[in-house]
Amino acid sequence: MINIKKIKCEISKTTEYFFKQLGRSEQKKIGQFTTPIQVAEYMAERLINNAVISSNHTIKILDPGSGTGILGLAVVEKLFTLFPQIHVELIAYENDPIALKVLKYNLRLVKDWSDKNKMSFSYDIRERNYILEDEELINDSAYLYRNSYDLIIANPPYKKLSKNSLEANAMNFIVHGAPNIYGLFWAKSIIELKPKATSAFIIPRSWMSGAYFERLRKFVFSMGSIIELHAFGDRNNIFGSTKVLQELVIVIFQKQKTEIINVWAHDDIKSLNESNPLIVPKHLAIVGSEQRVYLITNTKEIAIARWAESLPSTFIKSGLKMKTGLTVCFRNRELIEDKETDFNVPIFYSDNFENHRIKLKRKNGQYLSTKRPGLLQDNIDYIFIKRFSSKEEARRIQTAFYDSQQFSNKQKISTDNKLNFVIAESNYLLRGAFIVLSSTIFDDYYRLLSGNTQVNSTEINSMKFPSKNVLYEIGYKYSVSQLINMKQDKIDQIVFKMIGGRSDE
């Protein structure tokens, strides 16, 4: 066993030094969050355990968002522990001046240590933007180092970019809408992996769903496979005092096709080695033409995924459509009114929910002037769904049935942008959809798809759903009055009887 304990302690100290140089606002500005050493060591272990290492040739490692070098150096340590005679070459990219200072010091420490112990280690620090390489080569930069690396490990920056940014233009084949730079790092690194080689990234879960990341997902899965996913029960403790509120996952990618994904659910970073994997079939985890990724971490969630897979239709094909509320209130303050008049209409907010019913209970701002017809919608029956919930709330999808007869004196109404509403081809379909959307199993199904606390209408519209006939049959049996007074147990019983599946399986 190689004794590198003193070096690791010194590297930890220099990394802490770097962290203290950056305030929270500076970290967010550059998208830089340092990786705790126990996470770095675990990522290095999972990376090497999944790689095919030959001890008789050079192993070339890439750390494209190196920071202070903690991840790359964790891989170096693990390699030398397992293969003392191997030659290790580390390529590290970093362009932040404070991080560079610490990175150079750390790599020099390891180089001196390896020379002293007669081990073969070399490194190259590239002081430039990993995505761009050289500004004059933007259009080709993603392909400069194709098939170069045996191992890649990264905690890339997390930062939204303009779709017209230099980085987005360089990687335009995966960009849709407003990109996040971590996706660009991941895609370029996959190009640079050798065939059958392996990478380990710790990144936000947001890539797993949503239109913005659809091109990225399709590119990733065209190049190889996710072979491991590691999820964390507590999103607050991965980066300790940096208070990163992203829901993060460790992704082990391999540049070849496989049919299963091993998924770990970790309580926190202190118990990383205490968790056991769940084997998930690829067809259950990666679904639909958008190739969204379900985060399935236990057998109950496998049952939910199988239930969803069995549904014969999609939300939109079943005659339904979810839309986002029409009025962005802070942009239309001059139209918001407190008292009802002949020249305004009720505007509904998420705080108008009372269980499954809607009530006008705001003292202020409950009405919207009719001066802008584009903010008005017909007074018909809808399903209202809160767009936002807190992480701690029991349900992600919170529903209420809007009964137009309750406000029969109005031809038009409006909805706040923080609300979603569902329209349907018939009222019976709407009632049936209300039962399904309000069920426990559908809420759990949505949680597989999205780590966000936002209910995204685009995602709902493409999700698997019961057929029109089944929805019609359910909706025909129950009046609006019965729906809005229905208890959760009754809703779940109806769904189980008509569609199958239990959330407690």
pLDDT in tens, 90-133: 999 999 888 888 899 899 989 998 999 899 999 999 999 999 87
Give the per-residue pLDDT at 176: 87
Q: What is the pLDDT of residues 195-207, one digit of tens each?
A: 999 999 999 999 9
Tens of pLDDT, residues 435-453: 999 999 999 999 998 777 7
Answer yes or no: are the C-beta atoms of 381 and 363 closer than 8 Å. no
pTM to 2 decimals? Answer: 0.87
- Give the integer Cα–Cα distance in Å for 72 and 409: 67
Three-state DSSP class for residue 252? strand
Task: For 322-374, give the secondary structure using H, E and C.
Answer: EEECCECHHHCHHHEECCCCCCEEEEECHHHEECCEECCCCCCCCEEECCCHH
Phi and psi at 226, nearest 5°, equal -80, 120
Across 362-383, b (16+ Cβ under 10 Å) vs e yields: eeeebbbbbeeeebbbebebbb
- 386, pLDDT greater than 90: yes
> Which band of pLDDT confidence, cut at 50, 70 and 90, is reported for residue 413?
very high
Tell me what pLDDT residue 96 has: 86
For residue range 318-333, what is the model confidence (pLDDT) as tens digits?
A: 999 999 999 999 999 9
Residue 1 pLDDT class (50, 70, 90 cuts): very low
pLDDT band at 234 (very low <50, low <70, confident <90, very high): low
Query: Among 108-117, 131-140, 472-481, where is mean pLDDT lowest?
Result: 131-140
**CA nearest 209: which of 86, 318, 300, 292?**
292
3 state SS of 228: strand
Is residue 454 classed exposed, middle or buried when 0-12, 13-18 and 19+ CB atoms within 10 A define those classes? middle
Report the distance separating Cα 238 and Cα 292, nearest Å: 24
Reported as a pLDDT band with limits 50, 70 and 90, residue 244 is very low
Confidence (pLDDT) at 178: 82
- If DSSP codes are grouped into helix, strand and coil, which group holds residue 102? helix
Our measurement of the distance from residue 214's CA atom to the centroid of its chain's CA atoms, rounded to an integer in Å, reads 12
Q: What is the pLDDT of residue 326?
A: 97
Q: What pLDDT sits at residue 50?
A: 97
In sequence order, what DSSP letters do the residues of 111-166 get, joined into one string?
Answer: HHHHHHTT-EEEEEEE-S-TTTSSGGGGGGGGGTTTT-EEEEEE-----B--TTSH
**From CA 272, how far away is CA 182, in angstroms rounded?**
23
Look at residue 31 in the predicted model and tell me its pLDDT.
46
Mean pLDDT across 286-294 = 92
CB contact set of 328 (below 8 Å; sequence gap of 6+): 417
